[in-house]
């Protein structure tokens, strides 16, 4: 298995966000994926590949020009060692107060896209499983808004890349604790991608605005959006029911490529997510998915406890046959 990783991500370190009207520490830190990298190498997953550079048109195929240019301008105008946090909804192109803009946000988000597209190109060339170990995450980014620590939607951009290159059928399986509102929005009106998400119930959890079972897609996309929300503290018994259903759906659809938006904030030790999955449960998840025997691109999303991220990743990929 190949891992695509960019060491320059460590230069990107947001420090704060606003939650319920007060500043709190931002958990989207370099350590959360470097702990994964170090643990993976220690367990023999040492085939690390640096990213290539892809033209910006792949970003523009998914995100609106006005948003991309806003993010670029806001990044370049933010002084080094300062952070810009959303001030005016409707003017600023962000849907929350937890996603700061730094002087290098645009550059880092674009490099995350390059990591993901490099991994997608390796899958396209015939490698069965490739891991885009990437930050910042992407699945909350919509066509024209950032949010949820996400700026460009890495998984959606990879799916669009593969479609443009001739892949006919793609499933995105989102296993992050939070619903991928951005990925859903991007593909909600198309049958080119089947989006399936297992996540915390949006009646209780972020992003609140999407992730209900009733959201099934519209127009040509009707029936190509499946949400499987779960209650707080869902353990393996509850989670496995949703996962088994998702795997059956994927098997019946039989895509050419499976993209997994993989968040480890489903771990019981994660400070942000509120599920109760344990280390060994990630091995169980991987075993179920790998039985599909599909070319698979795994894209890192959330997970904010470096220690539990590392143990979850090793268990997952050690069992992904």
Residues recognised as catalytic = 140
Q: Find tokens 């939650």 and name the residue.
A: 19
End-to-end Cα spacing for the chain: 10
Q: Where are the alpha helices (DSSP H) in 92-153?
A: 105-124
Please tell me the distance from the alpha carbon of residue 194 to that of residue 249, in angstroms, as a whole number.
10
Which DSSP state fits 11? G
Q: Residue 224: what are its φ and ψ, rounded to 5°?
A: -110, 25
User: Which 3 state secondary structure label does DSSP give 19?
Assistant: strand
User: Which 3 state secondary structure label does DSSP give 53?
Assistant: coil
Q: Of 147, 134, 206, which Cα lies nearest the Cα of 182?
A: 147
Q: H or E element: which one contains 273?
A: none
Q: Find tokens 């490739």 and name the residue.
A: 130
Q: Of 159, 191, 160, which Cα lies nearest the Cα of 174?
A: 159
How many alpha carbons lie under 13 Å from residue 293 in its C-beta half-sphere?
0
- Paired tokens of 52: 């290539």
Cβ proximity of 298 and 130 under 8 Å? yes
Residue 58 CA: distances (Å) to CA of 100, 201, 289, 320 = 24, 32, 28, 29
Question: What's the farthest any 2 CA atoms get from each other in the chain?
Answer: 51
- Paired tokens of 74: 């806001």
């Amino acid at each position: 298995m190949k891992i695509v990783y960019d060491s320059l991500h460590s230069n990107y370190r947001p420090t704060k966000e606003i939650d319920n009207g007060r500043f709190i520490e931002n958990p989207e830190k370099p350590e959360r994926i470097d702990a994964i990298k170090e643990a993976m190498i220690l367990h023999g997953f040492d085939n690390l590949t640096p990213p290539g550079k892809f033209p910006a048109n792949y970003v523009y195929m998914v995100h609106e020009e006005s948003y991309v240019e806003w993010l670029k301008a806001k990044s370049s105008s933010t002084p080094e060692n300062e952070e810009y946090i959303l001030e005016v909804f409707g003017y600023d192109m962000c849907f929350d107060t937890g996603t700061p803009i730094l002087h290098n946000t645009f550059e880092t988000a674009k490099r995350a896209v390059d990591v993901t597209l490099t991994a997608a190109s390796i899958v396209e060339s015939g490698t069965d499983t490739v891991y885009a170990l990437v930050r910042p995450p992407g699945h909350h980014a919509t066509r024209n808004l950032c949010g949820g620590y996400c700026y460009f939607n890495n998984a959606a951009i990879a799916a669009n890349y593969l479609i443009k290159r001739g892949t006919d059928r793609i499933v995105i399986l989102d296993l992050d604790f939070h619903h991928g509102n951005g990925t859903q929005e991007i593909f909600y009106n198309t049958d080119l991608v089947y989006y399936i998400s297992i996540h915390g119930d949006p009646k209780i959890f972020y992003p609140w605005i999407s992730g209900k079972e009733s959201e099934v897609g519209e127009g040509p996309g009707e029936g190509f959006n499946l949400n499987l929300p779960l209650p707080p503290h869902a353990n393996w018994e509850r989670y496995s029911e949703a996962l088994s259903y998702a795997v059956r759906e994927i098997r019946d659809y039989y895509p050419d490529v499976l993209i997994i938006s993989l968040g480890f904030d489903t771990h019981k030790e994660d400070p942000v997510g509120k599920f109760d999955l344990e280390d060994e449960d990630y091995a169980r998840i991987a075993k179920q998915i790998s039985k599909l025997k599909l070319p698979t691109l795994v894209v890192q999303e959330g997970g904010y406890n470096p220690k539990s991220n590392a143990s979850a990743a090793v268990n997952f990929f050690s069992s992904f046959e």
